[in-house]
Amino acid sequence: MTALAEPTLVDDLVHALGPDRVRVGAAELSLYRRDASNFDGHASVVCFPTSTTEIQAAVQACVRHDTPYVARGSGTGLAGGATPLAGAVVISLAKMNRILAVDAAARQAWVEPGVLNLDLSKAVAHLGLHFAPDPSSQQSCTIGGNVANNSGGPHCLADGVTSAHIVAMEVVLPEGDIVTFGGEDPEPAGFDLRGAFVGSEGMFGIATKICVRLIQNPPAVRTMLLDYMSVEDGAATVSAIIAEGMVPGALEMMDALCTRAVEEYIHAGLPMDAAAILLVEVAGLPNALEHEVERIVAIGRAHGARNVRVAQDEAERALLWKGRKTAFGAIARIKPNYYLHDTVVPRRKLPEVLNKVYEIAARHDLLVMNVFHAGDGNLHPLLVFDKREPGVMARVHAAGEEIVRASVAAGGVLSGEHGIGLEKRDYMPLMYDPPDLAAQASMRAAFDPTGLANPTKVLPSPASCGDVQHLPEGVWI
């Protein structure tokens, strides 16, 4: 009698999910080798669960076979969070995309993690509600990915980032237990595990259901465009608006190169010769708005705004926003590749750090454009290049590292919304000392005693110890 062969990991996954939803073909696996970052890994299997119990079974199978796994939403992450390393299993949440329940009176909704961000806001629009976090990728990113990365967007200035809009989630913990963190109620007993889970980049378990807070659509909105002959004047306007006690719904800035690229692309009437333009949107009740518009216009003029354009109707407002939202498309016409950075600096340091960014890019012979969330000091320097040019990637990475260092040196932080993932893992010591990092490692150890949930992300490898860009084995840029 021959002994039965032990079932393999793939056998176990097929047993739990069925053969159709467990894929091992090379062509398919290659689609999942990375997210929207430049970090390539390698997946051994991709599976598509459709329920919490299937996710649990998949996680348990990975644990049984001592194989790491990576939760994946839409793969739009920019820090390599969803890149599978060392032949990890990719657990795609794409098929779990149902809105489960909407309570319009309580302004809460339960959704599956694969629901797309914009789909949720569209689905509740008829109730006069929306989901506040609005990343530029909102047409394609998932709520689960937003939770894992604690994502932001232009309108998070007034309303807060994802963490402020998540009240509860069901999670499959790395050891396989199904738990609920947080609650529909405001003060669930115990630690704020909900808050700890948001931003954990897939390393604390997999969110299988999420309860979000929906907020009322504002009764009135006013959108303005101000343009400047210097970046300093635009940045000073930003600080002055906040210092005067106003928190606009959104406060976005584009620099000269970006403005020109966008104008040539969409012809929205943006000033081609401006050094910087500010897009300011205020939202709320009508009388407060009129007052705020007046004050913002006055502040803008006092800080050297040449023109102030206040959108007269919804069509003009949409046109102004289209300029902001198509920046990426416009840039693609200049050079085929870009590397988008994401750091935060104190608002008052914006001019200083922007000038450093220009200087760094020039020194590395690269083009840089800036289109960013000025209201919360969230810089997005965008290095544009053609990767066929020999040696260009080395320059892109060297410039990127200098930008991150300059931001932290100015009293800022490593990331405002894209997260750490692989990209900034080894920059963490720029911001945190060993005891600080040890505390973060303690959180990880408590949530994931198995160490199999998306390992080697976020926390710097002990070996790298302050050196940057020691990529884990099997990854390349």
Q: Quick one: what does residue 348 bind among another protein, ligand FAD, none, with the CB cut-off 5 to 8 Å set by partner type?
A: another protein
Based on the shown chain and the rule CB under 8 A, indicate whether residue 324 belongs to the binding site for another protein.
no
**Shortest approach of ligand FAD to residue 48 CB, angstroms?**
13
Chosen from another protein, ligand FAD, none, partner binding at 195 (C-beta under 5 to 8 Å by type): another protein
Task: From the list another protein, ligand FAD, none, pick the one residue 199 interacts with, judged by a Cβ distance below 5 to 8 Å according to partner type.
Answer: another protein
Phi-psi group of 279: left, alpha or beta (phi > 0 → left; psi -120 to 50 → alpha; rest → beta) = beta
Distance, CA of 207 to CA of 182 (rounded, Å): 12
Classify residue 333 by burial, with Cβ atoms within 10 Å: 0-12, 13-18, 19+.
exposed
- Among the listed ranges 138-146, 232-240, 297-305, 468-476, the one in contact with ligand FAD (CB under 6 A) is 138-146
Coil/strand/helix, residue 314: helix
User: With respect to ligand FAD, which residue has the nearer C-beta, 201 or 376?
Assistant: 201
Which residue's CB is nearer to ligand FAD, number 79 or number 236?
79
Least Cα distance to 147 among 169, 174, 176 occurs for 169
One character per residue 384-413, x = contact with ligand FAD (rule: CB under 6 A): ------------------------------
Q: Considering the complex, state which of residue 214 and residue 366 has its C-beta at the smaller distance from another protein.
A: 214
Does 454 engage in binding with ligand FAD (CB under 6 A)? yes
* E strand or H helix at 287: helix 286-302
Question: Binding of ligand FAD at residue 236 (CB under 6 A)?
Answer: no
Nearest residue (CB) to another protein, 178 versus 308: 178
Minimum Å gap between C-beta 166 and ligand FAD is: 12
**Tokens, residue 27:** 């062509």
Find out whether 32 and 22 touch, Cβ atoms under 8 Å.
no
Q: Which residue blocks in 38-178 are alpha helix, DSSP H?
A: 52-64, 117-124, 143-149, 156-159
From candidates 119, 233, 417, 423, binder to another protein by CB under 8 A: 417
Under the criterion CB under 6 A, does residue 455 sit at the interface with ligand FAD? no
* CB 98 within 8 Å of CB 53: no
**Candidates 74-82, 254-262, 307-315, 461-469; binding stretch for ligand FAD (CB under 6 A):** 74-82
Question: Residue from 194, 260, 347, 418 that binds ligand FAD (CB under 6 A)?
Answer: 418
Q: How far apart are CA 459 and CA 456, in angstroms?
A: 7
Should residue 202 be labelled a site residue for ligand FAD when binding is judged by CB under 6 A? Answer: yes
Q: Are strands 22-23 and 220-228 parallel, antiparallel or unpaired?
A: unpaired
Determine which helix (DSSP H) or strand (DSSP E) holds 468, and give its type and residue range: none
Q: Closest Cα partner for 374 from 455, 464, 300?
A: 300
311 near ligand FAD, rule: CB under 6 A: no
Q: Does 351 bind another protein (CB under 8 A)?
A: no
Q: Are 199 and 163 in contact (CB under 8 A)?
A: yes
CB of 394 to ligand FAD, least distance (A): 23
Per rule CB under 6 A, is residue 319 in the interface with ligand FAD?
A: no
Question: Out of another protein, ligand FAD, none, which partner does residue 202 contact, by CB within 5 to 8 A per kind?
Answer: ligand FAD
Site for ligand FAD in 348-367 (CB under 6 A): none
- Give whichever of 263 and 292 is closer to another protein, judged by the CB atom: 292
- If the CB atoms of residues 63 and 293 are measured against ligand FAD, the closer one turns out to be 63
Does 294 help bind another protein (rule: CB under 8 A)? Answer: no
Q: Is 169 in the site for another protein (CB under 8 A)?
A: no
The answer to whether the CB of 367 falls within 8 A of the CB of 384 is: yes
What is the CB-side half-sphere exposure of residue 307 using CA atoms within 13 A? Answer: 14
Give the burial string for 274-309 (b: 16+ CB within 10 Å, else e).
bbbbbbbbbbbeeeebeebbebbbebbeebbbbebb
Question: Near another protein by CB under 8 A, which window of 244-252, 307-315, 352-360, 463-471?
Answer: 244-252
CB of 249 to another protein, least distance (A): 12
Q: Of 99, 98, 194, 112, which is closest to residue 145 (Cα–Cα)?
A: 112
Of 2-10, 37-45, 48-56, 106-114: span binding another protein (CB under 8 A): 106-114
- Closest to 142 in 3D by CA, of 109, 163, 120: 120
List contacts with ligand FAD (CB under 6 A): 35-36, 70-78, 81-82, 93, 113, 135-137, 141-142, 144-146, 148-149, 151-153, 201-202, 206-207, 328, 417-418, 454
